[in-house]
Chains A and B, each alone.
Chain A
Amino acid sequence: MWFFINFIFIFTLVLFASYLLLGYFSIKRLRNYTKRNSYTDYNSVGISPLSPSVSIISPAYNEEKNIVNNAKTLLNLHYRNFEVIIVNDGSKDNTFNYLVENFELEKVNYFFEYKIPTQKVRGIYKSRNPHYNKLIVIDKVNGGKADAINSGINLCRNDLVMSIDADSIIEPDSITKLVKPFLEEKKKKVIGTGGVVRILNSCEVKDGLVKAVNLPQKFLPKWQALEYTRAFLLGRMAWSQLDGLMIISGAMGMFDRETMIKAGGYDTQCVGEDMEIVLRMRRYMAEQKKEYEVTYIPDPLCWTEAPSDLKSLQSQRTRWTRGLMDALRKHNIIFLNKSYGKLGILGYPFWLFFEWMAPLIAFLGIVYTVYLGISGSINWSFFLLLYLFVYSFSVFMSAISVLFEELTFHKYKRKRDVLRLLGVSFLEPFLYPILSFFAIKANIQYLKGNKGWGKVHKNGSINGTV
């Protein structure tokens, strides 16, 4: 039992040390990025005829509430050369009909090639109205999000592909910002870039654009606002700096189409398709012995609605854990394998031990503590001291991420919102047992072969307050 206790303690210390190191690399990256980009004129690049063409792929399944406004938002992005491909993934509601009616769509004689195998494409549609000539709609048999994006990849002809969720709201200048790392490439080929995703709840939205950024009112979305800030500004920025990035958020990311196709496209059997595609593309490049990089930019470019009730949160988190397990299992060859560079030595082991295993170990720790408490063999003074140590560190890391946000983009304009965000960091550690429980549940589901997406309730609003 002493081994178990020591293991948990050392595990915790290594985890904390890793977080501190990530914080260090993150600040290095953020500082460099903000300084460098303060001299950048994005507008002139967005309108340049030399800028590369981009295909935006937005898969839509039962999105009748927002699909028309979302498509309009995408068509109005600030960039010169782009096309918008909306993939109706066999929606059972009026998603497709609304698109046809509102954009005056008609079927075209498109020669569709299944370079990446997908479900059957029923038709390709374009608008009769020249105002919407950048829009292409694919109508296909339902095959899931990954399958829908693969259809879009098969159709598009541009070198860069941007995949976005149909229920997300993206900033008007997001293409230019995501394109920049691809344009800056010199020796290493850039194969993917992600941007920061933020929480939309309680924000004011008008005509598909975020007009006023507010911190969510309800506790769960508010906590997720803190969690996203930490995960993106601390975690992903640091991994980008360390060249160990394993995930580009499914809500929004830009990829090199050629590498995507050569790597085989999205895995339709994996619920964590956003992590799986990055791992596969990285594996492909490493196995081809090509120099490459996957980057992350700290600009908040995409807004998404977070689950506001426990049931939806559970559904989302169990899916994320199952996705993580699946992606890690499928690419276990990378683990501690030097041929995959820092991804194999640092990135993969971190995700394996600290993202997948940590909640499981924490759960065991909680169960063991309860047992010790009941059996009366716990030293309460020491326990409290240790707990306070873990608690203070957790609060500290969250506060650091709030500080990073304050030093860089300060999207929350009201002082009160920042203070509330700091306040949430004091309550956050009490949520950890619940999240550990979700992780246990996800592991059981995965072992039972559950591959479902689960239901996440979203209000969805393109106008007004979400």
Chain B
Amino acid sequence: MKKIITILSLITILFLISFVLQSKYNTAIFNAINVPTPQETILVKQIHLAGTTFLFMNLLIYSIVLCFSIMAVILVFVLFNRRKLERRQRISDKFLVLYQKKLIDYLIDVNKEIPGAREKYIKEFRELSSGRYHKKLLMSQICDLNLTLTGLNNERLKGLYYELGFHKKTYRKVHSPFWYKKIQGFKELYAMNMTEKNDVLMEYINSKNELVGIEAQIALVDLSKENPDVNPFEFLGTLKTDFSLWEQITLHQIMVQRDIRVPDFGQWLNSQNDTVVTFCLRMIREYQQVSNASKIEELLDHKNEKVRKLAIEVLGDIKATESAFPLKKKYKEEVYENSLEIIKSLRKISNPKSIGFLQKVVDSEQDTNLQIEAVKAIAEMGDEGKIYLEKMMKSDYKDYNIIIKHVLDKRIN
């Protein structure tokens, strides 16, 4: 933003200079070729240049001057920007290594309980981070390092962070009116295990800015590690905004990478927010929370067809044997995509009792996807399935050979 404001300011200055010069030039030309009349200003006066006016000529000249001025500014900007980037890179390369080394030394010496070591390092870090850029660099280094450490080392780094007053900067960012600063603040909160702003984070769960919302969610999930009594996904109960698949993936990855406690996701399956329901269904599948099968079965009547589809998928993925019957019952009522998903789920559940139903699907359906999936499902039903397939291959009713060959070719599936 600053860069754009600088460019615009320079352009405005150039434009004003050109305007003043152009006005003087107009008057000089006009005086030389004509005498002004009281009714006409200089700008609208016709001149002997293709019968046009001073105004038009001026507009053309201004535009040309403006375009070339901007070109010149861009050229200067590019040169300076490159220099600045190169300089930043050099400084960053040099100091990142220095800060990393110093932070490791600090942890080693403080852990060895060398007398006066802590004070000595704090003094050194204070001196090193006197400038704004260096402070920023050191803060990011402490945060990055803290994310990779555990236990006592976490405590030591957090202590250093507070001692250097960096926590105040984090608080300021959290309360900043600019969303990108706020996000930075949230990231620092969870990197440094700072739980004191959890109430603020809760306020931003339903933020209109989805990035602020997701970062608040990530921070809350991550900070739940600090308090074993807190449910890491408590916010799901109050989440009103849509929860995109991107956000769901991001949160799941945080759970995996940061070893977050896994709650029972069945508790939010009756949420009014459909995206919360889909997230919980995905998590139930990932963590194989099979005890939620009956709750998921209830979702087969959900008004949202996408929720129903995912519920069907998950019942198959958690191999909910008892759910085979309700799934078959829903087959005819469902939209095409969901019917297809039912067949796939029956394949995953692989209960030989479903063979008769699947045989009917193969015989009655015209859609080849449904037929292929049904044959695949029969093939998964052990010996009984194989016997059925052999019978089908010899069938006079329909020629199933192409489909069966496709299904039995292990290289394809």
* Residues of chain A having any CB pair with chain B under 8 Å: 27, 31, 35-36, 38-39, 41, 44-45, 47-52, 106, 108-111, 113, 126, 128, 180, 183-187, 379, 381-382, 385-386, 388-389, 392-393, 395-396, 399-400, 402-403, 406-407, 410, 415, 418-419, 422
Chain A residues whose C-beta falls within 8 Å of the C-beta of B245 in the assembled complex? 50, 52, 183-185
Instruction: Assess A379 versus B409: contact at CB under 8 Å? Given A39-B211, A393-B67, A399-B74.
Output: no
Residue of A nearest to B79 (CB): A415
Within 8 A of A (CB), among B151-185: 180, 183
- Known: A49-B286, A403-B78, A422-B78. Is A396-B406 also a contact (CB below 8 A)? no
- Tell me the complex Cα distance, A321–B38, Å: 54
Complex: chain B residue closest to A47, CB-CB: B253
> Chain B 195-233 against A: per-residue CB contact (8 Å), 1 yes, 0 no?
000000000000000010001000000000000000000
Residue B409 contacts which of A38, A108, A382 (CB distance < 8 angstroms)? Answer: A108
CA separation between A111 and B404, bound complex, in Å? 9
Question: Would you give the shortest CB distance from A146 to chain B, in whole angstroms?
Answer: 23
- Binding site of A, secondary structure by majority: helix, strand, loop or mixed? helix
- The answer to whether A385 and B57 touch (CB under 8 A), given A49-B286, A109-B406, A392-B67, is yes
Which residues of chain B come closer than 8 Å to A385, judged between CB atoms?
57, 60-61, 64
Residues of A within 8 A of B242 (CB): 186-187
Point out the residue from B7, B244, B253 that lies within 8 Å of A185, measured CB to CB.
Answer: B244
Taking a contact as CB atoms under 8 Å apart, the answer to whether A422 and B75 are in contact is: yes
Tell me whether chain B's interface is mostly helix, strand or loop, or mixed.
helix
- How many residues of B sit at the interface, in one of the four size bands? 35 or more
B75 and A51 contact, CB distance less than 8 A: no
Checking A48, A51, A402 against B74 with a beta-carbon cut-off of 8 angstroms, the contacting residue is A402
Q: Cβ of B108 < 8 Å from any Cβ of A?
A: no
Residues of A near B402 (CB, < 8 A) are 109, 111
Q: Is B70 an interface residue (CB 8 A)?
A: yes
Write out the residue numbers on chain B whose beta carbons fall within 8 Å of the beta carbon of A106: 411
Given A52-B245, A109-B402, A379-B50, 13 additional A-B pairs, CB 8 A: A39-B211, A44-B250, A45-B249, A48-B252, A108-B411, A110-B409, A111-B403, A183-B246, A186-B244, A389-B63, A392-B68, A403-B74, A422-B78
Interface hits, B237-257 → A, CB 8 Å: 242, 244-246, 248-250, 252-253, 257
Least CB distance, B52 to chain A, in whole angstroms: 7
In the assembled complex, the Cα of A6 lies from the Cα of B408 at a distance in Å of 72
Which chain A positions have C-beta within 8 A of B368? 111, 113
Residues of A within 8 A of B70 (CB): 396, 399-400
Judge if B71 is at the interface, Cβ distance under 8 Å: yes
Question: Which chain A residues border B347 with CB–CB below 8 Å?
Answer: none
User: Given contacts A50-B282, A382-B50, are A418 and B67 in contact (CB under 8 A)?
Assistant: no
Residues A109 and B409 in contact, CB atoms below 8 Å apart: yes
**Cβ of B49 and Cβ of A381 under 8 Å apart?**
yes
Chain A residues lying within 8 Å of B60, measured Cβ to Cβ, are: 385-386, 388-389
In the A-B complex, the 6 residue pairs with the smallest Cβ-Cβ separation, listed nearest first, are A392-B67, A111-B406, A396-B67, A183-B246, A44-B253, A382-B50
Taking a contact as CB atoms under 8 Å apart, the answer to whether B250 and A45 are in contact is yes
Distance A2 CA – B137 CA, assembled complex (angstroms): 65
Look across to chain B and name the residue whose beta carbon is closest to the beta carbon of A383: B50
Q: Which residue of B lies closest to A187 (CB)?
A: B242
Complex Cα–Cα for A183 and B252 (A): 14
Q: Which residues of A contact B75 (CB under 8 A)?
A: 399, 419, 422
Most buried by B among A38, A50, A180, A396: A50
Q: Is B101 engaged at the interface, CB distance under 8 Å to the other chain?
A: no
Contacts of A31 in B (CB 8 A): 1
CB-CB under 8 A from A407, the residues of chain B are: 3
Question: What residues of chain A lie closer than 8 Å to B132, measured between beta carbons?
Answer: none
Residue ID in chain B nearest A43 by CB atoms = B253
A109 touches B412 (CB 8 A): yes
**Could you mark each residue 66-110 of chain B with 1 if its beta carbon is under 8 Å from any beta carbon of chain A, else 0?**
011011001101110110010000000000000000000000000
Residues of B within 8 A of A402 (CB): 74, 78
Contact partner of A36 (CB less than 8 A), chosen from B49, B211, B409, is B211
